[in-house]
Amino acid sequence: MKSMKETPPTILVAEDDAEIRFSIVSALEREGYRVMATASGEEALELLAREPCDLVLLDVLLPDLSGLDVCRLMRRQSAVPIIMVTARDAEPDVVAGLEMGADDYVTKPFSLSVLLARVRANLRRTQRVPEAKKLQVGSLTLDPASCTVTAKERVLELSPRLFGLLWQLARHQGEVCRRDHLLDEVWGYEFIGETRTLDVHVHWLREKLREHAPDLEIRTVRGVGYRLVVGK
């Protein structure tokens, strides 16, 4: 019996620097990915609306629309994984990207091997089959089938990555979740370069909990990881 040839994942690259864009596209195509590339934020939105893709690599500094605005608008139409590519690695800039719905970020200058590893990891993560049962923790109800979180019948706006992080912490409520475990389960990769992505996601998730579920708290266990507890 002949097996059908799998369609390669499609990746949308929005990067205004022609040299960097060429390097990224060449590296992705060598790995077998199908690539759509543009230097324009508006065109990136048009491409995503016209042809769904499996992952977006999105530069923050685009000439027409800010990459942050592009990310926010993409989130309105798709749950596609978005990796922000930015020269701005200050925490407020990174948090802003996560707030707009980004799942991960890579700072310039970066090595193509690290970028490809992040791409593979995010694609693997989206291919995992979610668990079917809902989970109640404190005032929150988590539904892995739809990746939604409700608090007192109000749906919280969480990116897929933030949902994955909350899901892992909630599954092990009261227990310490090691950093490497969270990176592997939520991002799908072992330690690659730096792990501040996890810390920034935890920061933003804490903000969401303070606003919508004050009965829950994420506590830091120094040198080990994080723990979700009910009550203060």
Instruction: Give the pLDDT band of residue 185 (cuts 50, 70, 90).
Output: confident
Residues spanned by CATH 1.10.10.10 within the chain?
135-230
Instruction: Give the pLDDT band of residue 142 (cuts 50, 70, 90).
Output: very high
Which pLDDT does position 2 carry in this prediction? 37
Which of these, 100, 106, 147, lies nearest to 125 by C-alpha position?
147
Token pair of 69 as six digits: 């605005």
Which pLDDT does position 32 carry in this prediction? 95
Give CA torsion, residues 199, 98, 85, 66, to 10 deg: -150
Instruction: Give the pLDDT band of residue 93 (cuts 50, 70, 90).
Output: low
Report domain 135-230's class. Answer: mainly alpha
Q: In this structure, are residues 167 and 137 in contact, taking their beta carbons and an 8 Å threshold?
A: no
Question: What count of other Cβ atoms lies within 10 Å of the Cβ of residue 116?
Answer: 16
Question: With 0-12 CB in 10 A as exposed, 13-18 as middle and 19+ as buried, what is 18?
Answer: exposed
Of the two residues 101 and 88, the one the predictor is more confident about is 101
Please state the CATH superfamily assignment of the domain spanning residues 10-127 in this structure.
Response regulator (3.40.50.2300)
Residue 3 has pLDDT above 60, yes or no: no
Alpha-carbon gap, residue 3 to 30, rounded angstroms: 23
Which pLDDT does position 107 carry in this prediction? 82
User: What mean pLDDT is reported for the chain?
Assistant: 85
Residues spanned by CATH 3.40.50.2300 within the chain?
10-127
Which of these, 130, 114, 230, 109, lies nearest to 172 by C-alpha position?
230
Alpha helices in the chain (DSSP H): 18-30, 41-50, 67-77, 91-99, 112-127, 160-171, 179-182, 196-212
- Average pLDDT estimate for 111-119: 89
* Digit-coded pLDDT (tens) for 48-62: 999 889 999 999 889
Alpha-carbon gap, residue 159 to 126, rounded angstroms: 12
Residue 207 has pLDDT above 50, yes or no: yes
**Main-chain dihedrals φ then ψ at residue 136, nearest 5 degrees:** -105, 125
Cα separations (Å) of 207 from 22, 155, 175, 224?
38, 15, 21, 21
Question: With 0-12 CB in 10 A as exposed, 13-18 as middle and 19+ as buried, what is 90?
Answer: exposed
Identify the weakest region by mean pLDDT among 69-73, 113-117, 125-129, 179-183.
125-129
CA-atom Rg of the chain in angstroms:
18
Helix (H) or strand (E) holding 24: helix 18-30
Q: In this structure, are residues 117 and 72 in contact, taking their beta carbons and an 8 Å threshold?
A: no
- Average pLDDT estimate for 147-165: 84
Of the two residues 51 and 97, the one the predictor is more confident about is 51
* Digit-coded pLDDT (tens) for 73-92: 998 888 888 998 887 665 66
Of the two residues 168 and 96, the one the predictor is more confident about is 168
Question: What count of other Cβ atoms lies within 10 Å of the Cβ of residue 218?
Answer: 17
